[in-house]
Amino acid sequence: MTIHKEGRSWVLISSILFGLSIYYFKVSSAEWFWLKLLLVATVGFFWLAFVQFFRLPKRTNSSQAHQLVAPCDGKVVVIEEVEEPEYFKDKRIQVSIFMSPINVHANWTPCEGTVKYVKYHPGKFLVAWHPKSSTENERTTVVVQSNNGKEVLFRQIAGALARRICYYVQPNQSIAKGSEFGFIKFGSRVDLYFPIGTEILCKIGDVTTGNETVIAQW
């Protein structure tokens, strides 16, 4: 396991502060012992939280070519047929995965193919499960055309805590299944939109492991 590049400065600064708090606790007088202990514990908590949040474990993708993997760690909260208004402008099967603060927040590509569309949208920071978060929150939309010609749209959506969505892909770029396409800082969810007729292999309440859990096939 390593620390994701998006979090290295956070972990470095918190590590320095944690070390300084321990040093101060050791060299200072016994006066205000419990207050200083509380300071060390608080700084240590934030250091541990940043390490937990920005961790980047190694993942092995062993799925078949016709299978699509979860783009993130989290919990499946939506599976429904909806109208996708931004790119397809027709009916699609939406699968939404909610990412809690304790999940790994790297995002992986669910299939191999060519990036056809990328667009970043600034926006609000409604809670990730709010019905309007898909269309009003800060978000990034990516569409990949797989090698069989079918397209899948995946959308990173910021939440109440998330204040920055990071993405690393560009239109016309060839991309491998399981390659890292982005990161969401401090929370939120990823929505996927599959063609009607795609076989969904997950159900609401399922816990996914990014780049490992097979969630659909076509």
The model's pLDDT over 177-193, given as tens digits with 9 standing for 90+, comes to 989 999 887 668 899 99
Mean pLDDT (the chain, rounded):
88
Token reading at 196: 């009607």
Rg (CA), the chain: 20
Catalytic residue among 14, 96, 146, 188: 188
Express each pLDDT in 121-132 by its tens digit: 986 656 655 556
Burial class (CB in 10 A: 0-12, 13-18, 19+), 148: exposed
Instruction: Decide if 96 is catalytic.
Output: no
pTM of the full predicted structure?
0.81
- How would residue 61 be classed by pLDDT, with cut points 50, 70 and 90? confident
